[in-house]
Structure 1
Amino acid sequence: IMFRKGRGLFELKENEVQQILMGDNSEEEDNLLLDGTITEHTDSTRPEPSTSAPVNEAQHQPVFKWNSRTYALNVFRDVEYDFGKVQICQEAENGLLTPFDIFCSAKNFDNLVQYIVSESIRYAHQNGREFTIDPEEMKAFLGMNVVMGYHILPSLRDYWSTEPDMAVQFISNVMPRAPFEDIRRNLHFCNNEAVRYITSSNYDRAYKVRPIIEHFNVSFQNALNNTVKQSIDEHMIKFKGHNVMKQYIKNKPVKWGFKLWCRCDATGYLFEFDLYTGKRTSGIEYGLGESIVLQLTKKVEGLGCEIYMDNFFNSPLLQYKLIDQNTKACGTVRTNRKQLPKTAPADKTMKRGDIYSTSFHCISYVKWMDNKGVHLLTNFLSPVETDIVKRRKAGSADKIDVKCPGIVSHYNKNMGGVDLMDQRKVCYEIDRRSKIKYYLRLFFDLFDIS
């Protein structure tokens, strides 16, 4: 395809056109790149999507024929599973469990410390430095960082100051400043000599913290069984240094930093997460939001959990795929998603409280007019159930009753798990700048969450 641009011509190849047409448009996530290379597959089995193994969506994409007059409730399979069962610290020797006991058991803390000790010593020796440390010293170092998170001074060295208004005896009596800085200088989480070269097809940009990510993911999931209601959202880690994985997201409290995709329950407990590392180098993935949901729900596939998500992730095709995995889903949706019904009324023809709904294959699309149009998709909630919400009357302080879809109430009640985790984490967090060693910011953020 040839296009005229100014006085010359430029060419668009077929796969580039398909990338533009198939890529999910993201207003707030403009810097998140999609891989649009098209490959042919002849495998007729159902795909098992993940961000590391892209699949061809064309073979399994249905033709959505929406009907506003019929709705059939999808019947999900019941499974025997102890939802929300605590798997750690069943009993203590003296019958009393301390918060530290729970922390060590839930996060497999001793194994984590032993691993960090061995890799930090290896890292120092690889750089020609003499360095020794034992697990108890590493635990003391991490504990001191926790204290520094709630007892905040202008600079790190102020904790060892001789000035009476600055000195913190609780810190200086545990470890002198020089050994503390030496541990921080050599803190490391992987073997640099075992890293694949950057041109390798399976090169991992997050190799510096990949073992830590895997450790916490396993620990979080082993400590608590999955709960019924969960949500998927993003979590930003503040970072302004130079790194290819750094993102800029406008209209966010933390605009610069690393992005984690998280799956939490309604109480803010983090079950699973993954670090966004950038564009894939080969193959085709589902829309970015869809692929993230499919990746993070693999561990709950078949359990019948309810997954709530915002409009960055949701789409009709995702709802269809989650039905096959016996996973219930609900969330807002962007109006430019493919396969959405074209028959929804325009905003100007609707007044506050008006509801439009249509269905296909047990998937319901609902448009509700509040102050502006609200668009939702679900594969398990009825579109005809309604609630009443209070809204302020225009030009008055009085409130009036407005009819609202029941789907909105379910979404508002169960969507805030990741936000609740963020709220709890920032109360007392380890926030020491590290513009060069970016992986320290990632590690301490995960340590705060744990």
Structure 2
Amino acid sequence: MAEVEYDAEDTLDFDALLIASDEEEQGTTEDEVDEVLRRTESDGSEEEDSDNESTSSWSSDISPHDPWIFSGSCGPDDEVLSCQEPIDFFELFLNDEILDLIVKETKRYGTHCSEDFQETDSEEMRRFVGLCLQMGLVKLPRLRDYWSSRPGFGGHAVASKIMARNRFEELLKYLHLADNENFDGDRLYKIKRFVQLFNETAARLYSIGKELCAKGGYTVRIKIYAGKDPSRHELLADQVVLELMEGFLDEGRIVCTDNFYSSFGLAEKLISRRSHLVGTFRRNRKGIPKEIKETKLKRGQLCCKQKRNGVLVLKWRDKRDLYMISTKHDATVGTSQKPEVVDDYNEMKGFVDLSDQMASYTPFVRRTMKRNSRSPDIQDTLSSNTLAVDFYADASVQVCSFIRLAQIPTSVFLDVIHNAIPR
């Protein structure tokens, strides 16, 4: 039976990179980030520009550069607007097609591995997912403790009313998303179809507007890193951004990136596809004008240069020097006493942080012997998108609060157990 092999070293390094990149503003030094970068693919974030690039390509005459009118559609699908309760939103993502895939492949794998495996169905799988939601909301030391009636664990064995512990463990053991017999060598084969269905569903239910980092923290597409790809011709960082933006280019959209993904090369590629880049920038990127690097600033001061095609590199001094890149901004300072490019970046990044916050409300992770059991961390994203589409559905009356968002996973779980417990 074919099994997927993962390059553990590559994956661990990439995870470390993301952590370092996200935490840099919280005290991680750039030397520490450099060390993480050296442990990833050597060409992952290199810049094609040369340090010896002619200074004549940069100008001190700065102007805004936004020549494209956004031509895409934006807003929730009618399916979203017709939902009434949190469970309705959740079932938009955990829909029949996804449930059928999980049920079919779990049955296939379970019966292959054990003659005693009892086949499952969609209703039982919904109860299984409901218990997973509860385990994300209520933390207990061991899996079996959710079936305990001991006072120390609350004295209410809710799980036992939904599903026997042995049955839950059996489903968890044989949970599968693909037929192993058809393994095609793709490292992500075991979850590829599941991710594809999620991406199709997310794109159908909400059309992202001009800013790809949207209010509500909605995740419109997932791409999972699976180690170094020897057939790749693009730089890793550029390829990730461009692949995630497939279907969203050429319509005047804006993508926000952190300092690992931002580069002059990526900015040029996006401009050629009528799209904007706004992001933080690493101070040691090749191609940054020497004048920008060497200028000493006092707090609140800035310096910047711009290319003829609109690519702006800006250095602004706050508690430390902050480098930014943008293909649409000028050097205007807003009412916050920060450059507008910084304010806009912080706003867009805040939506990403909101998505992470919402996913944290349902962080069910049970480490098992099977590496791919944790891969549908996508369940967290299902929950996060449930909260986001609820936000969009109610945006017209502005009734979305963080307290309410935190309560939605609980509401979904209560609906699941209400339907599961015999009356």
Is the pair's TM-score, using the shorter chain for normalization, greater than 0.5?
yes
Q: 1:63 to 1:301 in 2, by over 3 A?
A: farther
**Equivalent in the alignment of 2:173:** 185
Kindly indicate whether residue 70 of structure 2 is the aligned counterpart of residue 83 of structure 1: no
What's the counterpart of residue 163 of structure 1? 150
1: CA distance, partners of 2:34 / 2:199: 28
CA shift, 1:192, in A, is 0.6
| Contact kept in structure 2, 1:35 and 1:280, CA below 8 Å | no
The residue number in structure 2 matching 1:356 is 303
Give the number of the structure with larger relative contact order, counting CA–CA contacts within 8 Å between residues 6 or more apart. 2
Q: 1:333 aligns with which of 271, 275, 281?
A: 281
Matched residues, number = 343
Match of 1:138 among 125, 142, 162: 125
The answer (yes or no) to whether the contact 1:34–1:279 under 8 Å persists in 2 is: no
Question: Could you tell me whether the CA contact under 8 Å between 2:72 and 2:210 is conserved in 1?
Answer: no
Is 1:311 the counterpart of 2:222 in the alignment?
A: no
- Report what 1:48 is aligned to: none
Aligned counterpart, 1:215 = 197
Amino acid at match of 1:421: S
Q: In structure 2, do the counterparts of structure 1 residues 65 and 320 end up closer, same or farther at CA, with 3 Å as the change threshold?
A: farther
Kindly indicate which of the two structures has a greater share of residues assigned to helix: 2
Residue 419 (1) aligns with residue 353 (2): yes
- Give the unaligned 5+ runs of structure 1: 1-24, 37-56, 197-202, 232-264, 390-402
- Do the aligned partners of residues 85 and 183 (structure 1) sit closer, same or farther apart at CA in structure 2, a change above 3 Å counting? closer
What TM-score comes out, normalization by structure 2 length? 0.74
Matched, 1:342 2:290: yes
Listed as ranges, the matches of 1:96-135 within 5 Å are 97-105=84-92, 107=93, 109-131=95-117, 132-135=119-122
> How much does 1:189 deviate?
0.8
| Map of 2:338 onto structure 1 | 404
**Distance of 1:63 and 1:273 partners within structure 2:** 39
- In structure 2, the CA distance between the partners of 1:159 and 1:369, relative to structure 1 (3 Å rule), is closer
Task: Decide whether the 8 Å contact of 1:87 with 1:225 is kept in 2.
Answer: no
Question: Aligned equivalents of 1:319 and 1:306: distance in 2?
Answer: 11
Q: Kindly state the Cα deviation for residue 190 of structure 1 after the two structures are TM-superposed.
A: 0.7
Matching of residue 172 in structure 1 with residue 172 in structure 2: no
State the 1:143 CA deviation.
1.0
Shift of 1:65: 4.2
- Alignment counterpart, residue 437 of structure 1, candidates 370, 389, 397: 370
Shift of 1:311: 0.9
Matches within 5 A, 1:245-264: none
Separation in structure 1 between the aligned mates of residue 95 and residue 130 of structure 2, nearest angstrom: 12
Q: Could you tell me how far apart the structure 2 residues matched to 1:63 and 1:284 are? A: 27
> For 1:31, which of 28, 31, 39 is the aligned residue?
39
Q: Which residue of 2 aligns with 1:375?
A: 323
**Residue of structure 1 aligned with 2:209, choices 218, 227, 238:** 227
CA separation in 1, counterparts of 2:88 and 2:263?
43
Give the 3-state SS of the residue equivalent to 1:330 in structure 2.
strand
Task: Note if contact 1:26-1:312 (Cα within 8 Å) is conserved in structure 2.
Answer: no
> Could you tell me how far apart the structure 1 residues matched to 2:347 and 2:110 are?
49
Gap change, CA 1:297 and 1:178, over 3 Å in 2? same
Q: CA RMSD in A?
A: 2.6
Q: Which residue of the partner structure matches residue 448 of structure 1?
A: 380
- Partner residue of 2:244? 296
* Partner deviation per Cα, 1:114-164 (whole Å, 9 max, x = no partner): 111110111123324332111111111111111222233221112223535
Structure whose residues are more often strand by fraction = 1
One-letter amino acid of the counterpart of residue 381, structure 2: I
Q: Offset at 1:29?
A: 4.0
Within 2, Cα distance between the matches of 1:148 and 1:108? 18
Distance 1:69 1:145, change over 3 A: closer
> Does the residue aligned with 2:79 lie in a helix, a strand or coil?
coil
Q: In terms of Rg, which structure is larger?
A: 1
2:182 aligned partner: 194
The one-letter amino acid paired with 1:327 is: S
> Contact conserved, 1:228 with 1:306, CA < 8 A, in 2?
yes
Distance in 2 of aligned mates of 1:112 and 1:291: 28
Identity of aligned residues (%): 29
Consecutive unaligned residues in structure 2, runs of 5 or more: 1-32, 383-423
Contact 2:146 2:158 in 1 (8 A): no
Task: Deviation per CA, 1:29-67: give whole Å up to 9, x if none.
Answer: 44332569xxxxxxxxxxxxxxxxxxxx89xxx988433
The amino acid of 2:297's aligned partner reads M
Return the alpha-carbon distance in structure 2 between the equivalents of residues 267 and 285 of structure 1.
Answer: 31
One-letter code of the match for 1:355?
A: L
Aligned equivalent of 1:365, options 313, 317, 331: 313
Q: Secondary structure at the match of 1:279?
A: coil
Cα distance in 2, alignment partners of residues 63 and 224 from structure 1:
44
* 2:378 partner letter: L
Alignment of 1:6-85 (within 5 A): 26-34=34-42, 65-85=56-76
CA contact 1:84–1:226 (8 Å) conserved in 2: yes
Q: Is the 8 A contact 2:132 2:364 kept in 1?
A: yes
Measured in 2, the distance between the counterparts of 1:73 and 1:144 equals: 52
Q: Secondary structure at the match of 2:209?
A: coil
Comparing 204-213 with 187-196, greater Cα deviation is found at 204-213
TM-score (norm 1): 0.70
